Amino acid sequence: MKKIKTTPLAPQEFEVEQISETEANIIAFPFETGYAISLAHPLRRFLLSSSVGFAPIAIKIEGAKHEFDSVRGMLEDISDFILNLKEVRFKLKNDATEATVNYSFAGPCEVKGADLSNDEVEVATSTAHLATLNEDATLNFSIKIAKGIGFVPSEDVAGELEEGYIALDAFFTPVRSATYKIENVLVEDNPNFERVVFTIKTDGQISPIDAFRNSLEVMYAQLAVFNSEISIKAPTTVERAEENPDLKKLTAHIDSLGLSARSFNCLDRSNIKLIGEIALMSHNDLKNVKNLGKKSYDEIVDKLQEYGFAVGSDLADDVVAALKKKIEAKEA
């Protein structure tokens, strides 16, 4: 008969594969069938729409009145200069949310992203090309940089700018791509559980892990409205561990090990009833069980290994907490 569940299995495994400073795989499992995509799809949406980044929102260039103007001695027109500027990814320092940064360059030189780094801003795209100046050129400009999410068209900021500034379309999102795939994973001979693998690439303003953390915070904040009205109680660490297959095996009675009468009686007389109690013991603790000889000790160690555990097993913290709770209930 198929086992009847009252709650879905909660995933316990979480892994991060760091591919580079700007790319990582984030993996979680095992999920019940259908649960992985139910969580992965909205998380991807939040990654792409709600990750916090920085972008230039306006620029003022000395000698230029509009985006179709030009600066003497600069190879690029103002429109090309602005397009190049949008490829430069800034990050404000000192937790600032907005700043106006002034620059001045004299030719001949090539202005790149690295040349825009200073005490106020950090540039993630150091090799990005911005402008080429000849020996007669002088380029003075000011950039307004802001912190935000998503995309903000220039029309939305134009009305708040001082005279001389050209409003820019602002693309704040630091996540360049976010994809996921769902794979099958085996749990207790059942191949129908799932694993989700996120692949996240950022532009260097933040790490993929920080982007993922930010999307989780946004997701939790959106769901919190239901919690406040319906008073849903979040499961405790011990409650989540209840569905862990290891815990179910560890809370089985010691007669499941198939021990000889002598070994079984030694453990039973010492009030050791659950397999998990042996797994939590050190080797010295087991050897010191009253009347337990070497032959019985070796038998218990071997039987426990056949069962899938070892004396002094390195168990997950939530499993240990739940197991100790079961042991305390047994002794009560």
pLDDT score recorded for residue 331? 61
Is residue 243 very low, low, confident or very high in pLDDT (cuts 50, 70, 90)?
low
Question: What is the four-CA torsion angle of 72, 77, 79, 80, rounded to 10 degrees?
Answer: -130
Max avg pLDDT among 1-5, 69-73, 200-204, 305-309:
200-204
E-assigned strands of the chain?
13-20, 23-31, 52-61, 90-92, 98-106, 109-112, 121-123, 129-133, 138-149, 151-152, 166-167, 170-171, 175-187, 190-202
- Whether the ω angle into residue 108 lies within 30 degrees of 0, i.e. cis, is yes
Is residue 46 very low, low, confident or very high in pLDDT (cuts 50, 70, 90)?
very high
Average model confidence (pLDDT) across the chain: 87
Average pLDDT of the segment spanning 26-40: 93
- CATH code, 52-171: 2.170.120.12
9 with 33: CB under 8 angstroms?
no
Which CATH class, in words, describes the domain spanning 241-331? mainly alpha
CB atoms within 10 A of CB 267: 23
Is residue 169 very low, low, confident or very high in pLDDT (cuts 50, 70, 90)?
very high
pLDDT score recorded for residue 1? 47
pLDDT score recorded for residue 242? 58
Segment 89-133, tens digit of pLDDT: 999 998 899 999 999 999 899 999 999 999 999 999 999 999 999
Number of H helices, E strands in the chain: 11, 14
Max avg pLDDT among 32-36, 261-265, 288-292, 306-310:
32-36
φ/ψ of residue 97, rounded to 5: -105, -15
Least confident of 38-52, 171-185, 307-321: 307-321
pTM over 0.85: no
14 vs 26, 49, 77, 218, CA distance in Å?
8, 24, 50, 20
Segment 143-156, tens digit of pLDDT: 999 999 999 999 99
pLDDT score recorded for residue 237? 54
- Cβ-Cβ contacts under 8 Å for 124 (sequence gap 6 or more): 89, 90, 91, 113, 203, 204, 205
Helix (H) or strand (E) holding 298: helix 294-307
**240: pLDDT strictly greater than 60:** no
Tell me the domain boundaries of the chain: 13-50+187-234, 52-171, 241-331
196 with 28: CB under 8 angstroms?
yes
pLDDT score recorded for residue 105? 95
**The domain made up of 13-50+187-234 is a member of CATH 2.60.40.3880:** no
